[in-house]
Amino acid sequence: MWCLRLRKAPFAWLLEKEWRELLASRAWWVMLALIGPLVGVSFISAVRTYAELSGYGGTAEGVGEAFSPLVGVWAPTFSACELAAAFLLPFVAIRVVAGDRQSGALKLELQQPMPAFARIAAKALVLMAGWTIASAPTLLAVVLWRSYGGSIYPPELMVVILGHFLNAGLTIALASAAASLTDHPSTAAIVTLSVTVGTWILNFIAAVHGGVWERAAGYTPTAIVAEFQHGLVRLDVLLTAAALVTLGLAVAAIWMRLGVGVRRRTSESITAMALAAAAIVACTFVTATHDFSENRMNSFSEPDQEALERIRQPLRIEAHLAAEDPRRVDLERQALSKLRRVMPRLQVQYVANTTTGLFEQTSQHNGEIWYELGGRRAMSRMTTAEGVLETIYSLAGVTPPQESEGIFRGHPLAVPPRRAAAVFYGIWPALIVAGAVFHRRRQA
């Protein structure tokens, strides 16, 4: 017997089906409607603050003359996407993944001999397409900013967008795994939100205790987004995120299949997790990074960078600062995070008896930062980049490089967020409502 088959590949049919299911999902339309005002609130507030610091409305002109749109506008504007990815996107993903099981469609579709990972990949691709459309308000923000005469440095903006896409990918993978593992969408939603809250708790513990916690917290979605929002791309973070996304989708695929016993699925899941854990551990040894920010906010100046790269001996720093000591935060942000990127053999050790350090102020060693390089030791209490570099140069016997001419001067812009309220609170929601009504009528 011969049978007939349509030329379009089954995977293309699956993509079409998932796309149609996404369009039929109320959760997606709700996310579309809400994300516009969310981005609007962030953008309007950020542009207003930026304008005021640039001298608009009677404030002292020049206060924000070194202002960068990356930190001043794009980081807060795109933070609305982070909110949507944490609280709206999981419901859309769960609807798309769990809907087939609820309706019984999964029992039919799984009888097509296609790998389960291909099925979940089709859902993930469509969800990413849905997220891309939902991110359109951020592009409207970019257009508005340009229309105000604002400066745009494309590499740093692309890095911010990449960070939010990675975050969305992690959310989709997590929600897909939860939807496949659980019997009911509401349980999947609880599991997904619990994991999200769990990563926030991890960040909090890391801030208090540091050490291993701090290292682990560096790979949470919040930390990943924060780094990308500063224009920094770390290859280890990219690879770890890719491993986590693959793990989430693999677990979803394993538990989506029918006709396979729970014991086998459990052992397959454990194997997938072990492989992902090994991959993540391997990723942590990758040190390649690139600072895409226009003002090199994650790096020392190029002459300093070159001078530090010439120091081959391992540098050891022992800082007598408690975890919650603001000086430690300054030291990390202004110097050590930059130093780690240029000197991979750097060893940092914090010495403190308490986490707050309140009762250690009287200790004579409190606040001391000891540097050891090539058998020589020096102590300093400075936590600024300049202070740290000065100590390192003196220990290494290196002449401090001349000040670079190409200092970032910033892009002040004293323009209020005109037309933004109309766009984000009026036009965008109206377009979404019109789109939803049009789609519904077309279906009926």
Beta carbon nearer to another protein, 82 or 100:
100
**What is the C-alpha radius of gyration for the chain, rounded to an integer number of angstroms?**
25
Q: Is 13 in the site for another protein (CB under 8 A)?
A: yes
Stretch that binds another protein, among 161-169, 175-183, 232-240, 253-261 (CB under 8 A): 253-261
- Indicate the helix (H) or strand (E) that contains 35: helix 26-53
Residues 6+ apart with CB under 8 A from 287: 235, 236, 341, 344
Tell whether residue 14 is a contact of another protein (CB under 8 A).
Answer: yes
Binding mask 24-53 for another protein (x = CB under 8 A): x-----------------------------
Distance of closest approach, residue 114 Cβ to another protein, in angstroms: 9
What SS3 class is residue 349? Answer: strand
Name the strand (E) or helix (H) holding 371. strand 369-373
Give the range of 1-9, 201-209, 233-241, 310-318 binding another protein by CB under 8 A.
1-9
Interface residue with another protein among 60, 143, 261, 402 (CB under 8 A) is 261
Residues between 51 and 110 that touch another protein (CB under 8 A): 100, 103-105, 107-110
The distance of closest approach from Cβ of residue 127 to another protein in the complex, given in angstroms and rounded to an integer, is: 17
369 membership: H or E segment, kind and range: strand 369-373
435 binds another protein (CB under 8 A): no
- Of 242, 269, 56, 259, the C-alpha closest to 178 is 269
The binder of another protein chosen from 66, 201, 260, 278 (CB under 8 A): 260
Distance of CA 282 to the CA centre of its chain: 20
Q: Which of 182, 218, 225, 190 is nearest to 202 (CA)?
A: 218
What's the closest the beta carbon of residue 435 comes to another protein, in angstroms? 16
DSSP 79-117: HHHHHHHHHTHHHHHHHHHHHHHHHTHHHHHTTS---HH
Q: List the one residue from 61, 62, 65, 111 that touches another protein (CB under 8 A).
A: 111
Binding residues with another protein: total (CB under 8 A): 33
CB of 433 to another protein, least distance (A): 18
Rounded to a whole number of angstroms, the minimum distance from the CB of residue 134 to another protein is 19
**Under the criterion CB under 8 A, does residue 118 sit at the interface with another protein?**
no
| Angle at the Cα of 413 from the Cα atoms of 412 and 417, rounded to 5 degrees | 145
Q: Is 6 in the site for another protein (CB under 8 A)?
A: yes
C-alpha–C-alpha distance, residues 163 and 157, integer Å: 10
- Smallest separation (angstroms) from another protein to the CB of 26: 10
Q: Work out how close the CB of 4 gets to another protein at its nearest, in angstroms, rounded to a whole number.
A: 4
CB distance 110 to 100 below 8 Å: no
Q: Return the residue of 112, 267, 353, 384 that touches another protein, per CB under 8 A.
A: 112
18 binds another protein (CB under 8 A): no
Instruction: Examine residue 372 and tell whether it contacts another protein (CB under 8 A).
Output: no
Of 126, 116, 53, the C-alpha closest to 89 is 126
146: contact with another protein by CB under 8 A: no
Task: Count how many Cα atoms sit within 13 Å of the Cα of residue 87 in the half-sphere of its side chain.
Answer: 10
- Using rule CB under 8 A, residue 7 touches another protein: yes
Full strand arrangement of the beta sheet holding 315-319: 347-350, 315-319, 369-373, 376-380
Q: Long-range contacts: 110-113, Cβ < 8 Å, 24+? A: 110/256, 110/257, 110/258, 112/10
Binding residues (CB under 8 A) for another protein: these are 1-8, 10, 13-14, 16-17, 20-21, 24, 100, 103-105, 107-113, 258-261, 443-444
